[in-house]
Amino acid sequence: MATTSCDVAIVGAGLGGCFLALLLGRRGQRVVVIEQGPSIPSAGADFLKPPGLRVLARHGLADLVGRHGLRRDTVRYYHDGDPIQECRFPEGGFLVRPYRELVELIYTSCVMEGVEFWFDAGIDEIAVGDGRVEELTLSNGRRLRAGVVIGADGTRSAVRQALDIEQRTLPYDRLLMRVATVPLTASVAQLNRLYFSSEGWFAYLYPINRDQARVFVGLPPEDDKEIFQDGIPALLDELKKFVTDSSDAFNVLQPATWQPIKVSSMRVAEYHKGNAALLGSAAFACHPMTGMGMSYTLHDAELLADVICAAGGDADLLERLLSARYEPRREAHRQLIDYGDALASTFHDRGAYLAAFRPELHIYGDAAALQPI
């Protein structure tokens, strides 16, 4: 089968891969995005915080993503049923938009810019020579050569493995998470409420559109079998102990289907090698409670697009620019990951949680945004 050549090959059509493809496509680069699935990813994050919204606004996408999304500006935190603090977001708050909808908008913009997408394109081999990715061979035999290769292929990144970049994953196994999509009730429509308990549970309830809500429940793994296999009444009994201002949601939790979610933090030793770089969840993963993964990923994609365009096809310059301008993002990510780790270890302890909470990392705002109740 013939070999295709392009300026930039991006592996993975999630938010990071699609946004980078859009920025490069707009600047005249020939981009091919390789995605193992039949389409863009179907599930993922819900919250886009102000830093991410600002990145999209810089590229004229604010209206597009905001038009049918929901805006929220406050999260109220509870411990053992008592309200303990509110986090208020400036500048029109944050956007709630299911991941697939958000990525779909960026994907559609990419297609209009002439970016090529190869779906159902698993990778068979990544040929690396002299520290550079030379060629990608897909499972259907197709081959791709690119001046720059981006691994935006999630936490199990094949590009990262081919580059032999070390990673360290830390599963949050003290807390098992379950999620359900349920009909919206009045209390959930009113405010995003996040409840913790000293028994190590949490529950987060928020709307995802005008009719539906998402509910995350976190519980000690030893409780999961008893609660979710013995049926929902046991779940409601536990929730009633610490979920105080959302009791109208209890009725809709009863028939819900609860999906388990595994979450881990992940750090990697390097963000680039030769002509290849990692982006998004291929490079870092933090606790979802920070709600910042997408914002950082969008900012990183913006930086990568600048670096790739500034290098203009010069391999040495590309490496130098990646070292000088992209690699330092690892420190920002490290802080976010450390923060998520710190939060995750304090859910049972009100004082420790409040001490660990850093509003500026949730919203890039200042401490005045945090109001004690």
* By CB under 6 A, residue 136 contacts ligand FAD: no
User: Which of these ranges, 29-37, 75-83, 191-199, 321-329, lies near ligand FAD under the rule CB under 6 A?
Assistant: 29-37
* By CB under 6 A, residue 297 contacts ligand FAD: yes
* By CB under 6 A, residue 128 contacts ligand FAD: no
> Which of 80, 14, 21 minimizes the C-alpha distance to 308?
21
Nearer to ligand FAD, 311 or 363 (CB): 363
In this structure, which amino acid lies at residue 216?
Answer: F
Angle of CA points 296, 300, 305, to nearest 5°: 150
Calpha distance 79→203 (Å, rounded): 11
Calpha distance 282→154 (Å, rounded): 4
Considering the complex, what minimum distance in angstroms separates the CB of residue 80 from ligand FAD? 25
* By CB under 6 A, residue 11 contacts ligand FAD: yes
Nearer to ligand FAD, 154 or 365 (CB): 154
Nearer to ligand FAD, 147 or 154 (CB): 154
Please answer whether residues 37 and 123 qualify as being in contact, where contact means their C-beta atoms are separated by less than 8 angstroms.
no
* By CB under 6 A, residue 111 contacts ligand FAD: no
Considering the complex, what minimum distance in angstroms separates the CB of residue 316 from ligand FAD? 27
User: Which of these ranges, 8-16, 141-149, 270-278, 310-318, lies near ligand FAD under the rule CB under 6 A?
Assistant: 8-16
In this structure, which amino acid lies at residue 239?
Answer: L
Phi, psi values for residue 333, rounded to 5°: -65, -40
Tokens encoding 31: 């981009």
* By CB under 6 A, residue 158 contacts ligand FAD: yes
Nearer to ligand FAD, 9 or 350 (CB): 9
> Which of 122, 28, 105 minimizes the C-alpha distance to 62?
105
* By CB under 6 A, residue 36 contacts ligand FAD: yes
User: Which of these ranges, 125-133, 223-231, 292-300, 338-346, lies near ligand FAD under the rule CB under 6 A?
Assistant: 292-300
* By CB under 6 A, residue 13 contacts ligand FAD: yes
* By CB under 6 A, residue 47 contacts ligand FAD: yes
> H or E segment at 317?
helix 315-321
For 14-46, b/e burial (b = at least 16 CB within 10 A) is bbbbbbbbbbbbbeebbbbbbbbeeebbeebbb
Task: Select the residue interacting with ligand FAD from 278, 295, 321, 339 (CB under 6 A).
Answer: 295
Question: Which residues are within 8 A (CB) of 121 and not within 5 positions of it... i.e. 6 or more apart?
Answer: 34, 35, 36, 138, 139, 140, 142
User: Which of these ranges, 73-81, 150-158, 201-209, 217-225, lies near ligand FAD under the rule CB under 6 A?
Assistant: 150-158
The length of the chain in residues reads: 373
* By CB under 6 A, residue 34 contacts ligand FAD: yes
* By CB under 6 A, residue 340 contacts ligand FAD: no
> Which of 145, 142, 116 minimizes the C-alpha distance to 128?
145
> Which of 300, 298, 291 minimizes the C-alpha distance to 362?
291
- Cα dihedral sign for 300, 306, 307, 312? positive
Considering the complex, what minimum distance in angstroms separates the CB of residue 107 from ligand FAD? 11
Calpha distance 297→166 (Å, rounded): 20
Calpha distance 293→51 (Å, rounded): 11
Considering the complex, what minimum distance in angstroms separates the CB of residue 263 from ligand FAD? 5
* By CB under 6 A, residue 109 contacts ligand FAD: no
* By CB under 6 A, residue 123 contacts ligand FAD: yes
* By CB under 6 A, residue 14 contacts ligand FAD: yes
Nearer to ligand FAD, 52 or 147 (CB): 52
* By CB under 6 A, residue 152 contacts ligand FAD: yes
Calpha distance 292→7 (Å, rounded): 30
* By CB under 6 A, residue 17 contacts ligand FAD: yes
* By CB under 6 A, residue 46 contacts ligand FAD: yes
Phi, psi values for residue 299, rounded to 5°: -65, -40
Considering the complex, what minimum distance in angstroms separates the CB of residue 112 from ligand FAD? 20
Q: Which residues bind ligand FAD (CB under 6 A)?
A: 11-17, 34-37, 41, 44-47, 122-123, 152-154, 158, 261, 263, 280-281, 288, 291-295, 297
